[in-house]
A and B are shown apart, each in its own frame.
Chain A
Amino acid sequence: MRTARRPFGGFAEWAILPFAAFLAVFAVYPLAQLVRMAFSDVQLEQGLFTWSFAGVANFVRLLDDPIAVRAVVVTTIFTVSAVPASIVLGTLAAVLVDRSTLFTGLARNVILWPAVIAPVVVSLMWLLILSPNLGALNNLLATLGLPGQGWLGSPTGAMGAIIAVDVWHWTPVVFLIVYTALRGMDADVLAAARVDGASERQLLWHIVIPLLRPALLAAALIRLVMCVKAFDEVYLLTRGGPGSATTLVTLHIRNVFFDRVELGYGASYSVVIVAVVAAVLALWAAGRRWVIRANGNGVVTG
């Protein structure tokens, strides 16, 4: 307690300093630059940036940019497909591993593998499978006497492919969260319900799923954020194509920054996206508080 009472210059202040410095230099400063950039016209001349104040011109332009609007739609379709799919599959995997008597140890380990592999390698892996000419999938279809598909070549095929690859890559995270919650569940509650004559189906819907709700919500939140941030896999699998069919918000930001070098405009788009994410999460936090109240406390922290 001696040092804690000192006003400053104690161990606590020194020990927190590196973390605070990292956040200040690499989070606060770039965020401030981003906001400044969003309200500026930034030109790159001979490797130097020249800034001039542009008011809200960049933001106004956004409304007239069909690709910017389309990227939001594409990201929304991607997210509302990939998040529920990975939640359902991850939960199913968790329940199966929990119920299994033969493969629990093996499956618990193997199902995590996709989540530790680099996104770049995951896209490469799926290119080897989905490529129209040499890919394993079309080869398999040919062996079965079925016609090959373009997969990444058609707009719907490409969208389906990036959703499938994202679900394959990140279902393990959902599995892990739900499985941990399942293991932490009080076995006595289930045993008591069984003694009272509840069927397995009733157990699932009236006890297991309500008890899992906090874990499912946490998993959904994490997956939502991951989908909005998704870049690597899609960049390598489709480059946002064909056309702009799979141009997610992050890919559009990259194009504006690096191909079009319109920094101010790209920054205004980034600011809007960050604001939307923050707003969605604020709503989620409000909703969660409501869920906690509805459920009663104690269940939530697992």
Chain B
Amino acid sequence: MKRTNPLVEGLLVVFVLAMVVPIGWMVVLAFQPGRTITSPEWDFAFTLGNFAALLAPGEPFLAQLGNSLAIVAGTVILCLAVGSLAGYVLSLLRLPRALTVVLLALAAFLPLVPPMALVPGLYVTLQNLGVLGTVQGLILLNTVFQLPFSVLLMKVYFDNVPPALREAALVDGATEARVFAAVMLPLVRPGLAAVGVFTAIMAWNEFLFGLTMTSGGVTSPLTVGIASLVQQYEVAWGEMAAAGSLAAVPIILLAIVANRQIVAGLSGGAVKG
């Protein structure tokens, strides 16, 4: 029924190229030696030297990669556990009305606040907890800023579970905790996947707290390490491009494989209005 319109297809190709070319250019530069990068001609060569220099012993890159992976793992686990419990309660169980209103209001308000505005307060909080400058501290901060989204998305998924299932399981003698773990959680597996993939990306990409809550070097996440390369720019362009590619390409591959989860995450609360 639909006919191919050359104008539509042409414009769409322009769109796709506009998205791909800047990414592709970075990946190309990651494999270029300094000689071709500084050349005013369009020269191209191939080297793995930039990656070797980044991963060389004594460079903080590997430690930062480890920190980022630990932050992602911790944040995803906490968001899944706390988010699914809270989403379940807000969707299917009864809480005192005042408590529900306060929690939902805070969950709606927190994403609106520029995180930079909360940095001094959070700095003091982490210091009091003794986790300032640590991976644990960054896991906690990443978690709290991803939780409102995680909870609301899980609530949307639990809203689609028929309440009769819970009542039937309770009548059969299961405890509330068992109903949640054995009956409800398996039913919202797509929601757990969406929350997991999305919070993983957000934690991997996080920069501001890594910048302000750590002292840099081997204590910081990957994004802060990349930013410190940028500061010396034009000297280490190849390494910069290599580091950027190492941070971006796995996420793009994830976006291809887990497209459905990312779509659910990105459009999450938004489409539901």
Q: Give A contacts to B, CB under 8 Å.
A: 1-4, 10-13, 15-16, 18-20, 22-23, 25-34, 37, 49, 92-93, 96-97, 99-103, 106-107, 109-121, 123-129, 131, 133-134, 136, 139, 142-143, 168, 172-173, 176-177, 180-181, 214-215, 218-219, 222, 225, 228-229, 231-232, 236, 249-250, 253-254, 257-258, 263, 266-267, 270-271, 273-274, 277-278, 281, 300-302
Query: With A27-B144, A107-B12 in contact, is A236–B4 under 8 Å at CB?
Result: no
**Cβ contact within 8 Å between B121 and A15:** no
Proximity bits, B232-259, A CB within 8 Å = 1, else 0: 0110010011011001100110111001
With a cutoff of 8 Å between Cβ atoms, the chain B residues found around residue A277 in the complex are 112-114
In contact, B254 and A34 (Cβ under 8 angstroms): no
Q: How far is the CA of A113 from the CA of B85 in the complex (A)?
A: 31
Cα distance A224–B69 when bound, in Å?
A: 31
B113 & A274 in contact (Cβ 8 Å cutoff): yes
Number of A-B contacts (CB under 8 A): 293
With A and B bound together, what is the CA distance between A232 and B248 in angstroms?
16
Residue with the highest number of chain A CB atoms closer than 10 Å, among B106, B140, B237, B259: B106
B residues within 8 Å of A by Cβ?
Answer: 2-5, 8-9, 11-13, 15-16, 18-20, 22-23, 25-26, 29, 37-38, 40, 42, 81-83, 85-86, 88-90, 93-95, 99, 103, 106-107, 109-122, 124-125, 140-141, 143-144, 147, 151, 167, 170, 175-177, 180, 201, 204-205, 207-208, 212, 223-224, 226-227, 230, 233-234, 237, 240-241, 243-244, 247-248, 251-252, 254-256, 259, 262-263, 266-267, 270-273
A175 to chain B, nearest CB (A): 9
A15-B85, A111-B19, A124-B26 are contacts. A28–B106 as well, Cβ < 8 Å?
A: yes
Q: How far is the CB of B250 from chain A (nearest CB, A)?
A: 10
With the chains together, A250 CA to B109 CA distance in Å?
18
Which secondary structure dominates where chain A touches chain B?
Answer: helix
The listed residue with most B CB atoms (<10 A of its CB), out of A113, A125, A254, A274, is A125
- Give 14 pairs: A residue, B residue, CB < 8 Å, sorted on A: A11-B180, A16-B99, A26-B140, A29-B125, A96-B12, A97-B12, A103-B12, A113-B252, A116-B205, A118-B226, A121-B248, A180-B263, A253-B117, A274-B117
* B15 engages A111 (CB within 8 Å): yes
Chain B positions within 8 Å of A33 at CB level: 120-121, 124-125
Q: Which listed residue (A93, A121, A177, A300) contacts B247, Cβ 8 A? A: A121
Our pick among B82, B90, B212 for the contact of A22 (Cβ within 8 Å) is: B82
Which B residues are in CB contact (< 8 Å) with A214?
A: 273
- Which listed residue (B29, B40, B118) contacts A142, Cβ 8 A? B40
Tell whether, in the assembled complex, residue A16 and residue B42 are in contact, meaning their CB atoms are under 8 Å apart. no
Bound CA span A128–B16, Å: 20
Enumerate chain A residues within 8 angstroms of B143, measured Cβ to Cβ.
22
Instruction: Please measure, in the bound complex, the distance between the C-alpha atom of A75 and the C-alpha atom of B36, giving whole angstroms.
Output: 38
In this complex, which of A22, A266, A302 has the most chain B Cβ atoms within 10 angstroms of its Cβ?
Answer: A22
Contact yes or no, B106 A93, CB < 8 A: no
> Is the pair A117, B93 in contact by a Cβ cutoff of 8 Å?
no
Complex: how many Å from CA A266 to CA B116? 10
- CB-CB under 8 A from B208, the residues of chain A are 231-232
Whether B5 contacts A99 by the Cβ 8 Å rule is: yes
CB neighbours of B205 from chain A (8 A) = 116-121
Q: Please give me the residue from chain A that is nearest to B254 by CB atom.
A: A116
Q: How far is the CA of A18 from the CA of B103 in the complex (A)?
A: 12
